[in-house]
Amino acid sequence: MLLGLIFPSEGEVHVLGGPVFGFEGRGSPALHRVGALIEEPAFWTYLSGRRNLEYFARAAGNAHERATRLGRIDEVLRTVGLAEAATKKVKAYSQGMRQRLGIAMALLGEPDLLVLDEPTNGLDPQGMREIRLLLRRLSDGGRTVFVSSHLLFEVEAMCDRVGVLAQGRLVADGPPSELRAAAGTIRVEVDDRGRARAILAAQAGVETIDDGQVGPIRLRLTSPATPAGVNAALVSAGLQVSALIPERVSLEDVFLALVEGADEAR
Amino acid sequence: MFWVEIGKSVHRARTYVFAAGLAGLAVLPVILLATTGSGSGGPPFFELIQHNGLFAALTAVALIQPFFLPLGTALLSGESIAGEASAGTLRYLLARPVGRRRLVALKYASVMAELAASVVWVMVLGLVAGGLAYGFGELPTLSGITISAGAGLLRILAAAAYVIAGSASVAAIGVFFSTLTDAGLGVAGGTIALAIARQVLDNLSSLRAIHPYLFTDKWLAWTDLFRSPVAWNAMARGVLLDVVYIGLFLGGALLVFSRRDVVS
């Protein structure tokens, strides 16, 4: 829907401040600034990689836009590492090469928004790393990069913000560290366990995981409780907090918990 | 973007295979005539080639009109949108963005351009072959009066234009069905079936009532160009019919494609 391919049953879609639908004649102007990789890259396989980019560059836009894109072909080919293979027919490309060419195509117009579906699909580990670094560079340079991926370690490594969709609803949205912390547990070591537990019981969003009378207290925190908030509550009550340790939880665990939770809530 | 489409065809082997095949058909009448010497029976104007090589152009066009031309049109038009859909490139073109109506219009235009080019190609090769074998000169018309070679050439061009206009309606049907699916070959098959069905229906005299509405009815009307005076009636009706078909089907294609979800 973001790219005008599927019509919404109701409501409007706006991208980069401009509407996407309503331009069935000439195409939405906003989409000129969007580069996309949709499910899988696709090409005219009887043409070379370079020609595919050329034809794609020429397909739309005014003369200036076309000229700019044509001028960038060498640069994007170099960026994705296809400079030598560019003259071969796409028919002969491996999956990794096609993936790279797809990314090159998305980059051609120097887009302000990149929408990439599984950008590292089919790439070897080195290639995956190159693309991750490239996307980080682009993002740091001020472009918005929107990635859809099932490789959560990759998402964790590269993304500033993560959104989790389950059953068509956005069930989580925030930096990976926040998402992990929100679903994670913390251990708190205090001098007076009894009093600490009483105080914490009164706190919203704090759930004590009962596992014994000695040692650190294990807590599960959900919004609005935060580790800092727990610390402040305990200290202001006069207790001494000697350790506050977040237990490591991976994004995958978070994701599965969220998705399963949504499944159950249905 | 129009030139992008043409450029793509230039890079395909099949374009040259088709061109070679058409070339063979175009010079076939002349070769047959020259080798066997007999002129009776055969496509329109066949026997007249002996008197004037200009007729070879007409015979060549007449040869491809009933089957090869509709087949080529159906293939090209059937593949126009559906081909991009099955290759997966349709979604990238639309997201570029290329407006939906613009894409349909451009695809139709490029199909027509390639069609027109094939007809001209066949005509020119026929002319060259006929000219080499039998020379040019004054044209005897079907009504007996002769016209100059120059005027004859003009009428031949008009005949080619009429044939192209006839194919334009098949192309519109093909493009319409092409917007509905992503199976290009299926559309091509369906379109050619429709074209043949119309010819078949046209030959069933019991269905005479609907004949005027089948565009194939007037396909050979261009032979009227070679009567003196030229009988414009049938051709005018043919062109009108073409316009109606094109309006209907191309309009339908534009409408359907403007609202359709693209998931391929």
**Position B114 pLDDT exceeds 60:** yes
Mean pLDDT value of segment A128-156: 89
How close, in Å, is residue B128 to chain A by CA atoms?
Answer: 33
The residue of B79, B84, B96, B262 whose CB has the most chain A CBs within 10 angstroms, and thus the best one to mutate to test that interface, is: B96
Sequence-distant (≥ 6) Cβ neighbours of residue B133 within 8 angstroms: B30, B33, B34, B49, B53, B56
* Beta-ladder partners of B140: B146
Contacts with B81 from chain A: Cβ below 8 Å = none
Give the SS3 label for residue B140.
strand
Contacts of A45 in chain B (CB under 8 A): 87
Of B11, B102, B262, the CB nearest to A47: B11
- For range A237-264, the mean pLDDT: 81
Chain B residues in contact with A32 by the CB 8 A cut-off are 96-97
Asked if the model's pLDDT at residue B221 lies above 60, the reply is: yes
Minimum-distance CB partner of B98 among A36, A42, A59: A59
CB contact under 8 A, B102 and A25: yes
pLDDT in tens, A62-79: 888 888 899 999 999 998
Mapping DSSP onto H, E and C, the string for chain A reads CCCCCCCCCCCCCEECCEECCCCCCCCCHHHHHEEEECCCCCCCCCCEHHHHHHHHHHCCCCHHHHHHHHHHHHHHHHHHCCCCHHHCEHHHCCHHHHHHHHHHHHHCCCCCEEEEECCCCCCCHHHHHHHHHHHHHHHHCCCEEEEECCCHHHHHHHCCCEEEEECCEEEEEECHHHHHHHHCEEEEEECCHHHHHHHHHCCCCEEEECCCCCCCEEEEECCCCCHHHHHHHHHHCCCCEEEEEECCCCHHHHHHHHHHHHHHHC
Averaged pLDDT for residues B107-129: 92
Average pLDDT of every residue of chain B = 83
Q: Which residues of A touch B93 (CB under 8 A)?
A: 59
| Residue B171: per-residue pLDDT | 93
In the block, residue with structure tokens 């925030």:
A174
Structure-token pair, residue A5: 């391919």
Calculate how close chain B gets to A237, using CA atoms only, in Å: 59
pTM: 0.82
CB-based contact B88 A40, cutoff 8 Å? yes
Cβ–Cβ < 8 Å for A155, A165 = no
State yes or no: pLDDT of A266 exceeds 70.
Answer: no
Residues of B in contact with A34 (CB under 8 A): 95
* Mean per-residue pLDDT, A118-125: 87
Cα–Cα distance, B179 to B184 (Å, whole number) = 10
Mutation target to probe the B interface, by most B beta carbons within 10 A, among A46, A91, A114 is A46
pLDDT of residue B231: 73
CA dist list (Å): B12 to A101, B5, B83: 21, 11, 14
Whether A58 and B263 lie within 8 Å, measured CB to CB: no
Please name the residue ranges forming H helices in B43-183. Answer: 55-64, 68-87, 89-95, 100-134, 149-178
Main-chain dihedrals φ then ψ at residue A63, nearest 5 degrees = -60, -40
Q: How many CB atoms lie within 10 A of CB A28?
A: 23
From B97's Cα to the closest Cα of chain A, the distance in A is 5
Q: Which residues of A touch B3 (CB under 8 A)?
A: 58
Res. A170 pLDDT band, cuts 50 70 90: confident
Which residue in A170, A165, A200, A202 sits closest to A186, CA to CA? A200
User: Do the chains contact at B95 and A31, CB–CB below 8 Å?
Assistant: yes
Inter-chain CB proximity A24 and B101 less than 8 Å: yes
With CA atoms as reference, the chain A residue closest to B104 would be A25
Contact A31 B89 (CB under 8 A): no
Least confident interval from A22-36, B94-108, B148-162: B148-162
Tell me how far apart the alpha carbons of residues A29 and A19 are, in angstroms, rounded to a whole number: 8
C-alpha span between A20 and B68 (Å, rounded):
42
**pLDDT tens per residue, range A177-223:** 877 776 667 888 888 888 888 888 888 777 777 666 777 888 877 76
Of the candidates B91, B99, B262, the beta carbon closest to that of A26 is on B99
Q: Which of A127, A126, A131, A130 is nearest to A116 (CA)?
A: A131
**Identity of the highest mean pLDDT range in A49-63, A252-266, B183-197:** A49-63
pLDDT digits (tens, 9 = 90+) for B12-57: 888 899 899 989 888 888 888 777 766 566 667 777 777 777 788 8
**From the list B11, B93, B261, which residue is nearest A46 (CB)?**
B11
Q: Which of A7, A38, A45 sits opposite B261 (nearest CB)?
A: A7
Nearest chain B residue to A108 by CA distance is B96
Q: Which of A44, A66, A113, A116 has the highest number of chain B CBs within 10 A, making it the mutation to test binding with B?
A: A44
A31 → chain B, closest CA residue:
B97
- From B1, B13, B95, residue closest to A58, measured CB to CB: B1
Task: Give me the mean pLDDT over the B92-97 stretch.
Answer: 91
Q: How far is B98 from chain A (nearest CA, A)?
A: 5
ipTM of predicted complex: 0.82
Q: Return the residue in B89, B93, B179 with the most chain A beta carbons within 10 A, the one to mutate for interface testing.
A: B89
Contact A42 B7 (CB under 8 A): no
Put simply, the answer to whether B92 touches A23 (Cβ < 8 Å) is: no
* Nearest by CB: B102 against A6, A26, A34: A26
Tell me which amino acid residue A27 is: G
Closest approach of A111 to chain B, Cα-based (Å): 11
